[in-house]
């Protein structure tokens, strides 16, 4: 398939892997964080770690939109959905995320109407078809999805739809990266920068990572060769003692981002003073809410939202996994009490969650795989 | 769902640690610690499944993990007997000296009519195929209809006409039936249940539990056509593609395979849950490892494209006219040739092998050159596809 297979070419991967291995200083360990959950998914789905030398460890970051939603917000959403005459729309990823009393799927089994949509715009279709219902879109995601929520609101306003609103849970990536950089438990050597977020915000916002923290950043695409090339670019910077922001994903990411998208976000949303992130706690100026101008579409104003903070289950270590302090399998409930079918933590739910990616794709001992391959060759 | 299951699950986890003190583990090298966790997970996965939800959710119908849990924890528990226990597509019974196969299936596909077929031929072919892959020759079907008040009689006739044609094509007869009508809103147009009886004319006893290391795994053609067709036919996504459902009776294809390779160990038709689910069933039932090769799995470019766009893995997407066969390694080439000689098997291919390593686990060599696991599906990307 064109535009896909080129980026999954095994021969090119072997060539890149050799170049990466050549850049490793003997005895040095490298820890590179892929910020974005989409990258985590690609890495496991294509078995990319098979190409990396043992001295390079990929640390999975916080950029999984579903994973960072705290339990209390899931409860709030279910509360909204259970109001009379409400249809809630949500991305499919959210459907199985556990709140304190169950997931959206469980809520539907109890009688709510929470429907999966592929695009927020589909919510408008549902709103038009159901004029006697209130349609509430459960908006989640980083700057990647915020513009589509914004455009949906702008279109709803233009159409004069009065039965559509947004439960806004959009978050922003930079404060989360900063929180990780300031976290004492983790020593990272560089960052594989988020690709789709950067199509919107551009590469400039990451310059503080290179300048103030002295860590290289390479904004990367989502095909396996993109990631492998980004790792090569990071290793090259490290070997040359540079720390800069580079753009591997230039076929999609403009250096200055997408002004139209940013304007749409600015038109409809503004920063919240603070927002709770699952496992990371409250981070100031890290999330968006609906602007006053669009108050008529702000579900948090239209309905009573309990807004009760719910502590994570004690055993859940999603926070440590999101920060990259723990590998998924190091969490004490991983794979036994917490599995994709009965997730305790969010990281086990979303396909972008590190735990789900490891459980579904990576649950094997790479050393044994390597040994088996050696035996096969001999 | 209450919090109590979390506590319960935690307690189980604690028990399952085999007294490995935290300090003890820390001294082990990283890879060994990882292996310990993997072994622990493996044990947890072999535990008797338990339904934790208080109510049925859509996941229970997905054909993936939740369905399997429901079947084992509720249905198998209630009806347990030696004929049911293998959980094959059809039960194999002996009646008056003859070995017969019995199966049943319900059809709730939405929309009722789609490119390449409709609920009618699906209801015939699906049951014919469940009998065929068990090694039996399908003979007779029943047809039960649950109709919603207000459903068009012309539509019903369209459905029954395609059932008639499908039955004729497969050489089976619909010999008994039932009709129920429910109030508007209590069903979605038309649901069909069919049961089927077939007779075993060969001396073979097929079953995925018989897979052995060294066996080859074959798929009879490109996968995922049906699931993607249905998804696009719903018109909820603004994607158009020239794809048709692959719904077809497999009895002819099965007969030509068994004629050439009598030593076939098992066959399954790849419906809900797709090829990935079958590979997992093989690994689990026979306690063997499976290694599949992504590059060898036939997928039409249109299906692959749609899957890429939607973020779905074609290995989990349903087919309605494809079978997966396990054959001894030395018979692989002859089996592929036999399948390819039949119009429904032109693109048959060996997609992987059974091996002794990592029992219970399906691994995939990705096209990119890495390795990963292929697990049972959790959740349902495409409800009501058959």
pLDDT-wise least confident of A41-45, A154-158, A317-321, B162-166: A317-321
Any residues with CB less than 8 A from the CB of B194 and at least 6 apart, and which? B104, B105, B107, B123, B124, B126, B127, B141, B142, B143, B144, B174
Q: Which of A342, A364, A346 is nearest to A355 (CA)?
A: A346
Is the per-residue pLDDT at A1 higher than 90?
Answer: no
No. of helices (H) and no. of strands (E), chain B: 12, 14
Please provide the DSSP assignment of A85-148 as one string: TEEEEE-GGGGG--BTTB-HHHHHHTT-EEEE-SSTHHHHHHHHH-TTSEEEEEEEESTTTHHH
Q: How confident is the model at residue B380 (pLDDT cuts 50, 70, 90)?
A: low
pLDDT value at position A370?
Answer: 61
The C-alpha angle with vertex A332 and arms to A329 and A338, in degrees rounded to 5, equals 80
Query: Among B6, B38, B372, whose Cβ lies nearest the Cβ of A44?
Result: B372
Q: Is the pLDDT of residue A255 over 90?
A: yes
Report the candidate in A229, A345, A341 with the shortest Cα–Cα distance to residue B380.
A341
- Nearest-CA distance from A51 to chain B in Å? 7
Tokens linked to A263: 């304007």
pTM value surpassing 0.80: yes
Buried b (16+ CB within 10 A) or exposed e, A123-135: bbebbeeeeeebb
**Average of per-residue pLDDT across A78-90:** 96
Q: Which two tokens stand for residue A169?
A: 């849970």
Among all residues of chain A, which has the CA nearest to that of B299? A1
Q: Give mean pLDDT, residues B257-268.
A: 96
Q: Give the mean model confidence (pLDDT) for residues B199-217.
A: 93
pLDDT band with cut points at 50, 70 and 90 for residue A376: very low
A106:B53 CB<8 A: yes
Q: Measured between alpha carbons, how far is B58 from B71 in angstroms, rounded to an integer?
A: 14
Residue B104 has pLDDT above 50, yes or no: yes
pLDDT for A145: 95
**Residue A366 host element (H or E):** helix A366-377
For A59, A84, A168, A176, A193, the CA distances from A171, given in Å and listed in that order, are 21, 28, 9, 9, 16
Phi, psi (degrees; rounded to nearest 5) at B129:
-70, -40
**Structure confidence by residue, pLDDT tens digits, B294-332:** 999 999 999 999 998 888 899 999 999 999 999 999 999
Instruction: Report the gap between the CA of A272 and the closest CA in chain B (Å).
Output: 31
| A119-165 pLDDT tens trace | 999 999 999 999 999 999 999 999 999 999 999 999 999 999 999 99
Instruction: Determine the average pLDDT of the residues in A289-311.
Output: 94
> Average pLDDT for residues B66-72, to the nearest whole number?
89
Helix (H) or strand (E) holding A237: helix A224-239
Lowest mean pLDDT among A232-241, A368-377, B292-301: A368-377
Q: Is the pLDDT of residue A366 over 70?
A: no
The verdict on whether omega for the bond into residue B111 sits within 30 degrees of 0, i.e. cis, is yes
DSSP-based three-state secondary structure for A167: strand
Beta bridge partners of residue B293, listed in sequence order: B365
Chain A residues closer than 8 Å to B378 by CB: 96, 340-341, 360
Sequence-distant (≥ 6) Cβ neighbours of residue B216 within 8 angstroms:
B326, B327, B328, B329, B331, B332, B335, B350, B352, B353, B354
Residue B256 near chain A (CB below 8 Å): no
Q: Which residues of A touch B291 (CB under 8 A)?
A: none
pLDDT of residue B24: 42
In the numeric block, which tokens belong to residue A89? 């729309």
**pLDDT on residue A372:** 55
Tell if the CB–CB gap between A337 and B12 is shorter than 8 Å: yes
- Tell me the three state secondary structure of residue B139: strand
The percent of residues in chain B predicted with pLDDT above 90, rounded, is: 72
Residue A363, both tokens? 């649950």
Task: For tokens 């129920």, name the residue.
Answer: B180
Helix (H) or strand (E) holding A150: helix A146-159
Which positions in chain B touch A78 (Cβ < 8 Å)?
Answer: none
Q: Which tokens belong to B278?
A: 């079958």
Angle formed at CA B199 by CA B197 and CA B201, multiple of 5 degrees:
165
Res A244: pLDDT: 97
Q: Residue A103's closest chain B neighbor by CA?
A: B1
| Segment A183-234, tens digit of pLDDT | 887 789 999 999 999 999 999 999 999 999 999 999 999 999 999 999 999 9
Listed range (A253-267, A295-309, B31-45) with the worst mean pLDDT: B31-45
**pLDDT over 90 (residue A324):** no
The phi and psi torsions of B73 (rounded to 5 degrees) equal -85, -30
Query: Are A365 and B378 a contacting pair at CB < 8 A?
Result: no
Whether pLDDT at B1 is above 60 = no
Mean pLDDT of chain B, nearest integer:
90
Closest CA to A357 of A44, A96, A36: A44
User: Which chain B residues are within 8 Å of A2, Cβ to Cβ?
Assistant: none
pLDDT computed for residue A253 by the predictor: 96
Angstrom distance (rounded) from CA B315 to CA B297: 9
Å between B242 CA and nearest CA of chain A? 16
How close A211 gets to chain B, by Cα (Å)?
A: 33
Phi–psi pair at B190, nearest 5 degrees = -150, 125
B157 Cβ under 8 Å from any chain A Cβ: no
DSSP run (H or E) holding A34:
strand A30-36
CB contact under 8 A, A372 and B369: no
Tell whether the model's pLDDT for residue B205 goes beyond 60.
yes
Residue A378 has pLDDT above 50, yes or no: no
A349 burial (CB, 10 Å; 0-12 / 13-18 / 19+) is buried
Show residues of chain A in contact with B375, CB under 8 Å: 340, 359-361, 363
pLDDT tens sequence across B128-186:
999 999 999 999 999 999 999 999 999 999 999 999 999 999 999 999 999 999 999 99
**B375·A363 Cβ contact <8 A:** yes
Nearest-CA residue of chain A relative to B44?
A336
Residue A186 DSSP label: -
How far apart are alpha carbons A234 and A20 in whole angstroms?
A: 9
Which of A311, A353, A309 lies closest to A334, judged by CA? Answer: A353
The CA-CA-CA angle for residues A236, A238, A240, to 5°, reads 70
Mean pLDDT of B5-19: 59
Query: What number of C-beta contacts closer than 8 Å exist between A and B?
Result: 153
State phi, psi for B175 to the nearest 5 degrees: -110, -5
pLDDT at A17 over 80: yes
Contact between B158 and B118 (Cβ < 8 Å): yes
Residue B5: pLDDT above 70? no
Taking a C-beta distance cutoff of 8 angstroms, is the pair A355, A347 a contact?
yes
Could you give the residue ranges of the DSSP H alpha helices within chain B?
4-15, 22-26, 30-46, 65-70, 76-79, 119-133, 153-170, 225-233, 251-260, 274-286, 301-310, 332-340
Residue A285 banded pLDDT, cuts 50, 70, 90: very high
Structure confidence at residue B12 as a pLDDT band (50, 70, 90):
low
Tokens of B322: 């494809």
**A118 class by beta-carbon count within 10 Å (0-12 exposed, 13-18 middle, 19+ buried):** middle
pLDDT above 50: residue B374: yes
Beta-carbon contacts of residue A57 (< 8 Å; ≥ 6 apart): A29, A30, A31, A32
Do B119 and B109 touch, CB atoms closer than 8 A? Answer: yes
| Model confidence at B25: pLDDT above 60 | no
């Amino acid at each position: 398939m064109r535009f896909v297979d080129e980026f999954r070419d095994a021969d090119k991967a072997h060539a890149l892997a050799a170049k990466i291995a050549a850049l490793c200083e003997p005895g040095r360990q490298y820890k590179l964080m892929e910020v974005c959950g989409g990258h985590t998914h690609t890495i496991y789905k294509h078995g990319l770690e098979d190409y990396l030398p043992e001295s390079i460890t990929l640390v999975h970051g916080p950029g999984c939109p579903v994973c960072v939603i705290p339990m209390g917000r899931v409860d709030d959403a279910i509360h909204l959905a259970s109001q009379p005459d409400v249809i809630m729309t949500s991305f499919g990823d959210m459907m199985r995320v556990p709140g304190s009393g169950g997931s959206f799927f469980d809520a539907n089994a109890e009688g709510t109407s929470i429907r999966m949509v592929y695009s927020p715009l589909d919510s408008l279709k549902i709103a038009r078809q159901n004029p006697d219902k209130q349609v509430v879109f459960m908006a989640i995601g980083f700057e990647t999805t915020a513009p589509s929520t914004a455009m949906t609101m702008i279109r709803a306003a233009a159409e004069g739809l009065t039965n559509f609103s947004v439960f806004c849970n959009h978050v922003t990536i930079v404060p989360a990266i900063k929180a990780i950089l300031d976290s004492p438990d983790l020593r990272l050597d560089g960052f594989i920068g988020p690709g789709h977020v950067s199509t919107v915000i551009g590469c400039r916002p990451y310059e503080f990572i290179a300048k103030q923290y002295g860590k290289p950043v390479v904004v990367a695409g989502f095909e396996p060769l993109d990631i492998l090339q980004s790792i090569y670019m990071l290793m090259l910077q490290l070997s040359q003692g540079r720390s800069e922001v580079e753009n591997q994903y230039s076929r999609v990411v403009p250096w200055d981002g997408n002004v139209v998208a940013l304007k749409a976000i600015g038109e409809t949303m503004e920063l919240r003073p603070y927002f709770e992130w699952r496992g990371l706690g409250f981070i100031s100026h890290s999330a968006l809410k609906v602007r006053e101008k669009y108050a008529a579409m702000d579900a948090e104003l239209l309905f009573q939202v309990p807004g009760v903070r719910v502590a994570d289950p004690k055993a859940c270590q999603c926070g440590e996994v999101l920060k990259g302090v723990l590998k998924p399998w190091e969490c004490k409930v991983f794979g036994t009490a917490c599995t994709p079918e009965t997730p305790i933590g969010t990281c086990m739910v979303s396909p972008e969650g590190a735990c789900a990616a490891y459980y579904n794709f990576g649950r094997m001992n790479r050393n044994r795989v390597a040994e088996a391959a050696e035996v096969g060759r001999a | 769902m209450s919090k109590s299951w979390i506590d319960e699950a935690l307690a189980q986890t604690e028990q399952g640690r085999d007294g490995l003190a935290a300090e003890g583990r820390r001294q082990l090298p990283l890879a060994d610690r990882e292996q310990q966790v993997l072994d622990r997970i493996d044990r947890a996965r072999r535990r008797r499944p338990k339904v934790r939800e208080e109510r049925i959710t859509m996941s229970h119908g997905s054909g993936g993990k939740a369905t399997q849990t429901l079947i084992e924890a509720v249905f198998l528990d209630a009806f347990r007997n030696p004929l049911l226990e293998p959980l094959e597509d059809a039960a194999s019974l002996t009646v008056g000296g003859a070995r017969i196969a019995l199966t049943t299936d319900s059809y709730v596909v939405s929309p009722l009519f789609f490119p390449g077929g409709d609920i009618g031929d699906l209801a015939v072919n699906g049951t014919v195929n469940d009998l065929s892959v068990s090694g039996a020759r399908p003979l007779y079907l029943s047809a039960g209809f649950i109709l919603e008040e207000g459903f068009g009689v012309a539509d019903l006739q369209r459905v029954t006409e395609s059932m008639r044609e499908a039955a004729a094509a497969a050489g089976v007869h619909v010999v008994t039936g039932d009709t129920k009508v429910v109030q508007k809103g209590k069903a979605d147009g038309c649901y069909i249940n069919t049961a089927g009886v077939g007779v075993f004319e060969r001396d073979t006893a097929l079953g995925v539990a018989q897979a052995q290391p060294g066996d080859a795994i074959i798929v009879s053609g490109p996968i995922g056509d049906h699931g993607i067709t249905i998804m696009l036919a719903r018109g909820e996504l603004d994607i158009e593609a020239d794809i048709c459902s692959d719904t077809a009776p497999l009895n002819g294809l099965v007969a030509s395979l068994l004629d050439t390779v009598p030593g076939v160990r098992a066959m399954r038709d790849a419906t809900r849950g797709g090829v990935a689910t079958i590979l997992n069933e093989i690994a689990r039932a026979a306690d063997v490892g499976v290694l599949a090769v992504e590059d060898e799995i036939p997928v039409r470019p249109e299906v692959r494209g749609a899957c890429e766009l939607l973020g779905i893995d074609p290995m989990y997407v349903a087919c309605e006219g494809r079978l997966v066969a396990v054959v001894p390694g030395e018979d692989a080439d002859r089996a592929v040739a036999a399948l390819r000689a039949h119009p429904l098997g032109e693109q048959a291919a060996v997609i992987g092998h059974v091996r002794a390593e990592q029992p219970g686990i399906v691994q995939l060599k990705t096209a990119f050159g890495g390795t990963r696991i292929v697990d049972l599906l959790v959740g349902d990307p495409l409800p009501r596809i058959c």
